[in-house]
Structure 1
Amino acid sequence: MSDKLIEVTEKEGVVRLTLNRPKALNALNSDLIAELNKVLVDLEQRDDLRAVLITGAGEKSFVAGADISEMRDKTPEEARVFASQALTTVKRLERLPVPVVALVNGFCLGGGCELALACDWAIASDNAIFGQPEVGLGVIPGFGGTQRLPRRVGPALALDLITTGRKIDAAEALRIGLVNRVVSAGELDAVAEELTKQFAGNGRQAIRSAKQAIHDGMDQDLDSALALETSLFALGFAGEEQSEGMGAFVEKRKPNF
């Protein structure tokens, strides 16, 4: 592992981002947040992108939270700026048009949990620990946790986790719907590779449209969301993917997307 704050690797349109502050358990400081934002700005321009994987360096931690040593002496205005910068980055990750998958190894606390919540998928190793422990520091989650966590697990469970600050293991995270899958630590990369192969076997634009329909539709009333779905469904017939996909089905062959 190099001394870069974020290691970027790529294979067949799948980009893997490894947050690289293992000695600090990959805690989010201003430099790491700024570097992640810069990388995401570049990824936004990519038409050939199929998926993004995000994980933490080392075996101990995905992201253990925001960097407390940096935050402790901030004024309210400085804290507002810090949170706003982090929120901009987290929203940029969330709004990437392709599937974004968090590979959660070890601690996934505070800002780390908020980062995972912004991903479309979360695959956790069986040693993962989740939580929003900010109240124990005299503050609340500031990178979207009070809004994304109730949308993911419901308001009652979100209030439980945020107001107690308690930590949960991977099994409980799976039970409440915080993560999609739990695997052994040694299987995490293999499962991620299999998932991205599944993405690659489907229409790239169709996947993007599905993500848009779900994300944008969740913030609309049902009739508006259904109209959005209809528009995106119809748009699929304007491209080559629909012709190839349906042609392959009729011809009893695998599509070549």
Structure 2
Amino acid sequence: MSNPVLLRVDGEVAHVLLNRPQARNAITIELAAALRDTLTAAAQRARVIVIRGADGTFCAGGDRAEVARLREQGAAALRPLFETFIGACELIARLPVPVVAAVEGAAVAGGFELVQSVDIAIVRDDAVLADNHANAGMIPGGGGSQRLPRLVGVPRALGHILTGDRLTGAEAAAWGVVYRSVPAAGFEDAVAALVANLAGKDRAALARIKQLVRTGMAGSLTDGLAMEVEATLAHLTEEGEP
């Protein structure tokens, strides 16, 4: 069997590929664990990480065959699927380098939850993004019920998750779910320009900015402002990584 996640390092950029094209890169326990381990390795070798899906599809969510098989065995068998995938998504926030999702094709269910977890998502206008769990009588299991409201607000998040409506890449950008949406013809150039921009910046500065935003969102504004002052002083007076 082929590796469900591939890593290629090109200079300062690590390319992480979800590699189950026969299943539209659907998430299994094996893929979730490989994603976690590959992201950890990539952060040690590069200034920027780019996540993509094989064969023009980002990720179709949880692998239905695996979910059905594990479901027959009970909650204890199912738990590692969700906890391992959530762990991989949560890891992204702690990595000291920017993690970019380059999204084309479909990013639905767990794939959409992965998009919500990265630092920067750039998508094709014609991509399809959706939390479509409710359409199959399911509920979000990879963090979507918690992340999406924080990104777009409760009314839009509940409206989207409950209806299972699809969003185009352009709509996802308008909602603020992703950083930018780009026409198909210019997508690869836009991804390359974004990655080059990030790779050319000071690594310690990007790591501290990411840490400030990620940590600050979990606390109060007052605590976040105090943390920002301390981080700025450290960045201006200390050498090396944060």
Q: If the length of structure 1 is used for normalisation, what is the TM-score?
A: 0.87
Task: Tell me by how many angstroms 1:24 deviates.
Answer: 0.8
Whose Rg is larger?
Answer: 1
CA distance in 2: counterparts of 1:41 and 1:53, whole angstroms: 13
How far apart, in 1, do the equivalents of 2:185 and 2:47 lie?
Answer: 24
Look up the SS of the partner of 1:219 in the other structure: coil
Q: CA deviation at 1:127?
A: 2.0
What is the letter of the counterpart of residue 129 of structure 2?
F
Which whole-Å CA distance do the structure 1 matches of 2:13 and 2:238 have between them? Answer: 22
State the alpha-carbon separation in 1 of the partners of residues 200 and 100 from structure 2.
17
* 1:57 equivalenced with 2:39 (yes/no): no
1:16-38 Cα shifts (integer Å, max 9, x gaps): 10111112111111111121122
Find the residue that maps to 1:210 and give its secondary structure. helix
Q: Which moved more, 1:155-164 or 1:176-185?
A: 176-185
**Unmatched 5+ residue regions in structure 1?**
242-257
1:63 is paired with a residue of what secondary structure? coil
| 2:7 alignment counterpart | 8
Deviation at 1:222, TM superposition (A): 1.1
Alignment correspondent of 1:236: 235
1:199 matched residue in structure 2? 198
- In the aligned structure 2, how far is the partner of 1:165 from the partner of 1:34? 27
Q: State the Cα distance separating 1:187 from its structure 2 match.
A: 2.8
Displacement of 1:239 in angstroms is: 4.0
**Residue segments in structure 2 that go unaligned for 5+ positions in a row:** none
Could you tell me which amino acid in structure 2 is paired with residue 81 of structure 1? P
Helix, strand or coil: the match of 1:10? strand
Aligned counterparts, 1:8-157, within 5 A: 8-44=7-43, 46=44, 49-59=46-56, 61-73=57-69, 74=71, 75-157=74-156
Does structure 1 residue 185 correspond to structure 2 residue 181? no
Deviation at 1:128, TM superposition (A): 0.5
Percent of residue pairs bearing the same amino acid type? 34
Q: Distance in 2 between matches of 1:84 and 1:161?
A: 24
The whole-number CA distance in structure 2 between the counterparts of 1:10 and 1:162 is 36
More off after superposition, 17-26 vs 231-240: 231-240
CA shift for structure 1 position 184: 2.5
In 1, distance between residues paired with 2:127 and 2:179?
13
In the superposition, the TM-score normalised over structure 2's length comes to 0.92
Q: CA deviation at 1:198?
A: 1.4
- What residue identity is the alignment partner of 1:70? E
Deviations 1:117-164 (Å, cap 9, x if unpaired)?
100111111221011111122221111100111111111111011111
C-alpha deviation, 1:186, in angstroms? 4.0
Runs of 4+ in 1 over 6 A off after TM superposition: none
How far, CA to CA, are the matches of 1:94 and 1:24 in structure 2?
A: 27
